[in-house]
Amino acid sequence: MSVKYIPVQWNKNKWWYDGIMLFAVVCYLWVFIEITPHILNHESPINAQVHNARAFGSCAFLMLSVILTIGPLARLDNRFLPLLYNRRHFGVMTAFVALAHAGYILDWYFAFSKAGKYEALLFANTSYTQLLGFPFEAFGIFALLCLLILATTSHDFWMKFLTPPIWKALHYLIYAAYISVVAHVSFGILQDQQNQAFPILFVVVACAVVGLHLLAAISERKKAGEHEKSTDGWIEVCATSEMNEGYAKIAKLPKGDRVAVFLQDGKLSAISNACAHQNGPLGEGKILNCLVTCPWHGFQYDVTNGRSPAPFTETVPTYNLAVENDRVLVDPEANQPGTFVEPLVLSKPKGGS
């Protein structure tokens, strides 16, 4: 954390995260390359380079699927949040695995073409008007480009340079990449697959990704509906008995923003749940002496005014609170970032713990 951009250093958790992820990738590739040829029934021996291409390609698909399940899983269960914090590292490694897959494809499938391998890749099949035999390579190229853009811009420098809103919008390309990968596989290997193991796995995994996103959306809509109870436009966050000292309750506001309501020394304060650094979830951070620490990269904010301690200059919006009939209410209209709001003294409810 600094008054100007500096690289965010890796910590012990990040090293463990990356180490386990790399170990899992190596194990998968080893099993696919060394074990599966003896299990899968091919009418004729499959070329080693083709088999390697399929190993890296299927690994990239599974990795991308896991990346897209982390978000909805974290929204459904807080225990998955540690996986979310370092998900960008997962994406960068996925891009490298996908690039290895593309390398095998270029070196083998187009090795015997009189044209250059890149030209052959783009123009060997131009049957765009038919479904069977559609040039599935185009989907793979687009997906790879998306992954490389995401990997290249994943560094904090690009978030600072592009600004968080643009950076976040750019990284929605992950969904376009996944749709393209699904199309790439559907029009490619699935139409020429003799063993049914991979098609079944492909359908199950793709449906799981879609299903988890739908389940998370339904769950959030239900929670939002519960919080939409209001008094004169104020939004209900929770019961006072649900507040825990040193922790926050997070609520989604009508305009889509999230507010984090903290209980510190028996007083309530509310700030935006989005860290000014990279939209990290402030409501999941630890609070000490009115300062909450973002769990992603350690940025700190005073929950009474949304300001980082000097000499740092980051600020987030604050919110006005009220308590009515033992219910915590928040004004959905945010104050300007850095605005001080007098903490609201919370009386312990009867029968509360």
Written as six digits, the tokens of 304 are 């009474």
Per-residue pLDDT, 41:
52
pLDDT tens-digit readout, 301-344: 999 999 999 888 889 999 999 998 889 999 999 999 999 999 99
CB burial of 48-72 (b: ≥16 within 10 Å; e: otherwise) equals: eeebbbbbbbbbbbbbbbbbbbbbb
Q: State mean pLDDT over 106-115.
A: 70
CA triplet 147, 166, 160: central angle to 5 degrees? 90
User: Helix count (H) and strand count (E) of the chain?
Assistant: 10, 12
Q: What's the predicted TM-score (pTM) here? A: 0.70
- 243 vs 44, which has greater pLDDT? 243
**Nearest by Cα to 36 from 50, 55, 57:** 55
DSSP assignment of 135-168 equals -THHHHHHHHHHHHHHHHTTSHHHHHHH-HHHHH
Provide the mean pLDDT of the chain.
82
Task: From the options 3.40.50.1820, 2.102.10.10, 2.60.120.10, 1.10.3720.10, give the CATH code of 231-345.
Answer: 2.102.10.10
Per-residue pLDDT, 4:
47
Residue 181's pLDDT band (cuts 50, 70, 90): very high
Tell me which range, 46-55, 67-76, 103-112, is most confidently predicted by mean pLDDT. 67-76
For residue 299, which amino acid is it? Answer: F
Residue 353's pLDDT band (cuts 50, 70, 90): very low
Q: What ranges make up the beta strands (E) of the chain?
A: 230-231, 234-239, 248-252, 258-264, 267-272, 286-288, 291-293, 300-302, 318-319, 321-324, 327-330, 344-345
Domain assignments of the chain as residue spans, ordered by start: 12-223, 231-345
Written as six digits, the tokens of 11 are 């910590």
CA 179, chain centre distance (Å): 16
Rounded distance between C-alpha atoms, residue 165 and residue 168, angstroms: 5
Rounded distance between C-alpha atoms, residue 168 and residue 153, angstroms: 10
pLDDT tens-digit readout, 223-260: 655 555 555 678 888 888 888 888 899 888 888 788 99
